[in-house]
């Protein structure tokens, strides 16, 4: 018996989630067909992928060293990148909830492959592999990405990441679709449409079907009020799904301070924590508008006896002292609240440069995001950039389209002034 056949026979005897095994073996078989001169090398790569995937799914607390090594193996990289900062994804893999879906489309020497999908009532996380016929540059990135069903684009936000491999012609990452308007998908048939930002506007069309039933969300109606330092926060509900926890809030207009941001944690009876999403879409709605939803890492596959939602590090500014006023046409700063340690420069008639403190080094948050012009029209920043290092300070620039009426108000988005104290809500767990 050949050594390769012996290895495959040994692999068959290992108890491993079937989707993960099929996925890893597909990679080895597919590459074997396309690269005959590298048969032995590709088979070894496929076996290594399967074994490492097994280690990932069984070892929930993955070490950074293993994660770094596994991320270099094709197909595993998108998952490994996520589980290093998302405990919910570790549980998804450990419970074999990811679906093995292999769909390819090739256009003009470029190939896009769906390698797997995680789906629940809140959205779809699609792992993909993009192979370009030349080095991947900004011109080969995605111009438009749509998730279709029954010929119509689903109302969903999408987070895209671009990670080129060492040879710069292959990229493996994820597309994270989050349904809006509380809309759930109808049926299991979808179509992913990806258009490149190249001169040909290359478009990939990839129909696929889900084979597993969506895990129903666990819904908890809270409707409780928290009072921290004299300011109210209403906790409306908590929905727990495999991909994320959605916590819904309302901030009353009667508060004397405008709440800018806060940290969220979900803690069980053992003290284990699930924190706020640190990458991708972190929620819907604006705190400034009073109604919003924030996402937390999911503990869907756990069975806690109790859960506590903790709200802390609450940034807030006095109302009426929560904005800056600028006249871009005259390049003048008209008003800055006394409590804000902010240095502002206006290099052009549509851009502003700010230097401001951070609560934590190497953890930048945007100071600004929009402006309200003299006619009351809101303008969003079209481009922003930040420079920060090991100091608790950020240098950021914000650019806007021209055409707004001066002077303008720019409401502060984040600033490290905090309420005294924190709040917590006990979630009643149904048996």
Please report, for residues 63, 142, 194, 204, the alpha-carbon distance to residue 197 in angstroms, rounded to integers and kept in the order given: 37, 6, 10, 12
- The sheet that has 218-228: what strands, in order across it? 218-228, 231-240, 245-250, 291-296, 283-285
The pair of structure tokens assigned to 356 is 């401001």
Nearest one of 320, 303, 325 to 373, comparing CA atoms: 325
Nearest one of 248, 253, 351 to 293, comparing CA atoms: 248
pLDDT (tens digit per residue) in 9-67: 544 454 444 444 444 444 444 444 444 443 443 334 334 444 444 444 444 344 454 44
pLDDT tens-digit profile, the chain (431 residues):
444 454 445 444 544 444 444 444 444 444 444 444 434 433 343 344 444 444 444 443 444 544 444 444 445 556 666 766 678 888 888 888 988 888 999 998 899 999 999 999 999 999 999 988 877 765 557 889 999 998 899 888 888 766 555 557 888 888 999 988 666 777 899 999 999 888 888 999 999 999 988 899 999 999 999 999 999 999 999 999 999 999 999 999 999 999 999 999 999 999 998 877 665 567 788 888 889 999 999 999 998 999 999 999 999 999 999 999 999 999 999 999 999 999 999 999 999 999 999 888 767 789 999 999 999 999 999 988 888 777 788 899 999 999 999 999 999 999 999 999 999 999 988 65
Task: Enumerate residues 6+ apart whose C-beta is below 8 A from 379.
Answer: 370, 371, 372, 373, 400, 401, 404, 408
The pair of structure tokens assigned to 103 is 């769909």
d(CA 119, CA 100): 12
Fold designation for 98-214: Immunoglobulin-like (2.60.40)
Record the pTM. 0.77
CATH code, 218-318+418-427: 2.60.40.1640
Same topology for domains 98-214 and 218-318+418-427, yes or no?
A: yes
d(CA 51, CA 45): 10
Domain locations in the chain as residue ranges: 1-97, 98-214, 218-318+418-427, 323-411
The pair of structure tokens assigned to 138 is 């900004």
d(CA 415, CA 394): 11
Strands, E assignment, 211-275: 218-228, 231-240, 245-250, 257-268, 273-275
pLDDT (tens digit per residue) in 72-104: 444 555 666 676 667 888 888 888 898 888 899
């Amino acid at each position: 018996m050949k050594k390769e056949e012996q290895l495959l026979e040994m692999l068959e005897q290992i108890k491993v989630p079937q989707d993960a095994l099929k996925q890893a073996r597909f990679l080895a078989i597919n590459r074997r067909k396309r690269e005959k001169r590298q048969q032995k090398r590709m088979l070894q790569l496929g076996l290594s992928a399967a074994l490492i995937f097994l280690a990932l799914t069984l070892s929930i607390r993955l070490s950074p060293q293993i994660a770094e090594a596994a991320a270099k193996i094709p197909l595993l990289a998108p998952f490994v990148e996520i589980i290093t900062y998302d405990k919910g994804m570790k549980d998804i893999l450990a419970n074999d909830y990811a679906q093995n879906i292999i769909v390819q489309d090739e256009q003009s020497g470029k190939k896009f492959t769906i390698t797997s999908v995680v789906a629940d009532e809140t959205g779809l996380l699609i792992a993909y592999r993009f192979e370009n016929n030349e080095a991947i540059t900004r011109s080969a990135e995605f111009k438009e990405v749509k998730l279709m069903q029954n010929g119509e684009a689903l109302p969903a936000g999408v987070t895209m990441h671009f990670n080129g491999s060492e040879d710069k012609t292959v990229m493996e990452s994820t597309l994270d679709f989050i349904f809006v308007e509380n809309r759930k998908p109808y049926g299991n048939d979808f179509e992913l449409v990806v258009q490149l930002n190249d001169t040909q506007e290359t478009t990939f069309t990839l129909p696929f079907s889900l084979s597993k039933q969506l895990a129903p969300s666990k819904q908890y109606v809270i409707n409780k009020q928290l009072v921290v330092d004299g300011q109210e926060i209403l906790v409306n509900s908590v929905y727990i799904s495999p991909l994320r926890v959605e916590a819904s809030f309302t901030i009353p207009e009667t508060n004397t301070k405008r709440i800018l941001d806060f940290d969220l944690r979900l803690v069980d009876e053992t003290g284990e924590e699930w924190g706020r999403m640190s990458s991708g879409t972190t929620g819907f709605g604006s705190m400034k508008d009073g109604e919003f939803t924030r996402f937390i890492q999911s503990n869907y596959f756990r069975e806690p006896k109790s859960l506590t939602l903790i709200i802390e590090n609450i940034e807030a500014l006095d109302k009426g002292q929560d904005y800056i006023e600028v006249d871009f046409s005259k390049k003048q700063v008209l008003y800055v609240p006394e409590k804000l340690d902010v240095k502002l420069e206006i290099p052009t008639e549509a851009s502003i440069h700010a230097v401001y403190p951070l609560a934590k080094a190497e953890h930048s948050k945007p100071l600004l995001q929009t402006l309200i012009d003299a006619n009351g029209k809101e303008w969003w920043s079209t481009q922003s950039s930040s420079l920060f290092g090991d100091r608790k300070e950020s240098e950021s620039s914000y650019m806007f389209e021209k055409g707004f009426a001066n002077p303008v108000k720019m409401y502060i988005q984040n600033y490290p002034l905090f309420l005294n104290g924190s709040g917590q809500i006990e979630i009643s767990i149904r048996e």
